[in-house]
Amino acid sequence: MQALPIKTKLGGFYFFYYAIVGTFMPYWSLYLQDQGFSFLEIGWLSAIAIMTRFFAPFIWGWVADKTGKRMLLVRIATWMEASIWFLIFIIPNNFQSIALLMLIFSFFQNAILAQFEGVTLFWLGEKRNELYGKVRKWGSIGFIVGVFFIGLILEIIDIQYLPILLLSISFLAFLWSFTVKEPKGAPKAQKTLESIIPVLKQPVVKAIFLIEFIMLFAQAPFYSFYSNYLQSSGFSTTATGFLWSTGVIAEIMMFAYASFFLNRFTWRQLVAICLWMTGLRFLIVGLFPESFVLQFLSQTMHAFSFGLFHLLAMRIIFEHFSAGQQGRAQALYSTMWGLGVASGSVLAGQYWELISGSYIFIIAGASTLIGFIFLSALPNLKPTEAR
């Protein structure tokens, strides 16, 4: 393993991490429904799986910046993640037990990505703008492998065995984490941490985090209920997996060809495009639940809902926060993701059966309009231009 280039090692870990996400995100709600939980309970359980993003990322980010041991934290977290999926076969199958398990799972899950993003950016160094998308695309490929092949497997085996699949992939992620060493350019243990508050007061930083919250609030019904929505419209798990995979393929294409947009549009225009495309995406999802073609089209817009916006956010974080602040900055990005998805999931679960899934997605799409309030704080320069 030591002979592997660092890009392969980093890409490999993204692959396994997102294979877990690609297995969990589309099918966990179906598993819960199979286990007899109501849509309201599924909404809360989905939110609980995200709620620790309100505080866990700051704990992990503080520890990472304080100790400098980012990969150690990633290894501990991946081991605990695998352990959680083993425990699901031991605990009672009721709301309280599953909620506790999701709380513990998400606390460790939230330690992984935020810190590994920092590890990746430190390892890539001055070449991060050039190489980040090429490395990060392996996470998208892992997601596709998870969502598509697990969908095929679940056509053969019962969905009650989903935790076994999650346990297997989590353990592989744990083993692969040992191929990635602590980044050489990252700051070591710090006695006194540099405050991030002055950076957060900068208009551009404040705006990107607020817009991130709005973007993820709009996407919450998709992350929590899209598979159930498709199932109720007559789609098989294979078709569901294909549609999820379509979104991630679009994301990979964006990672590969983002320079087309970055060289032609300003920060303000690019974020506006992301907001418009996200809103249009969920209007289509809500208005045409039984059309495979239009659901396919909506999924291609994930290139903007996540792909392009994520690249922009990562650039802003690394440009505005110092090396010693990266752990907490990435943690804040993760926290805003959690706040948006958790609040949106609870609301969607509360009203899903009352007003129907179609109206939930239409309202979610319309909510992206709020993001335009904060666009003026973003630079009217292209990301490739010097400020």
108: helix, strand or coil: helix
pLDDT per position as a tens digit, 201-211: 999 999 999 99
Compute the average pLDDT of residues 367-384.
91
Instruction: Look at residue 264 and tell me whether its pLDDT is greater than 80.
Output: yes
pTM over 0.85: no
Highest mean pLDDT among 55-59, 127-131, 278-282: 278-282
Under the banding of pLDDT at 50, 70 and 90, the label for residue 385 is: low
Distant-in-sequence, close-in-space partners of 220: CB < 8 Å, separation ≥ 6? 340, 341, 342, 343, 344, 345, 347, 348, 364
pLDDT reported for residue 382: 82
88 vs 374: which has the higher pLDDT: 374
pLDDT value at position 208?
Answer: 95
Could you tell me the CA-to-CA distances from 341 to 53, 69, 94, 255, 348 in Å, in that order?
10, 29, 23, 23, 10
- Per-residue confidence band for 1, with pLDDT thresholds at 50, 70 and 90: very low
User: Could you report the per-residue pLDDT of 179-193, keeping only the tens digit for each?
Assistant: 998 887 666 666 667
Residue 383 tokens, joined: 């990301």
Q: What is the pLDDT of residues 11-45, one digit of tens each?
A: 999 999 999 988 988 888 889 989 998 888 887 88
Contact 287, 182 (CB under 8 A): no
Please check whether the domain covering 6-377 is classified as CATH 1.10.10.10: no
pLDDT for residue 49 is more than 80: no
In this prediction, residues 303-329 reach a mean pLDDT of 87
Average pLDDT value for the chain: 87
pLDDT at 61: 76
Average pLDDT (121-141) is 82
User: What does the DSSP assignment read for 17-61?
Assistant: HHHHHHHHHHHHHHHHHHTT--HHHHHHHHHHHHHGGGTHHHHHH
- Quote the CA–CA distance of 263 and 51 in Å, as a whole number: 37
**Out of 111-120, 171-180, 194-203, which region has the weakest mean confidence (pLDDT)?**
111-120
The whole-number pLDDT of residue 187 equals 65
Both tokens assigned to 155 = 């056509």
> What's the half-sphere exposure (Cβ side, CA atoms, 13 Å) at 148?
13
Q: Is 385 exposed, middle or buried (0-12, 13-18, 19+ CB in 10 A)?
A: exposed
Distance between CA atoms of residues 20 and 143, nearest Å: 7
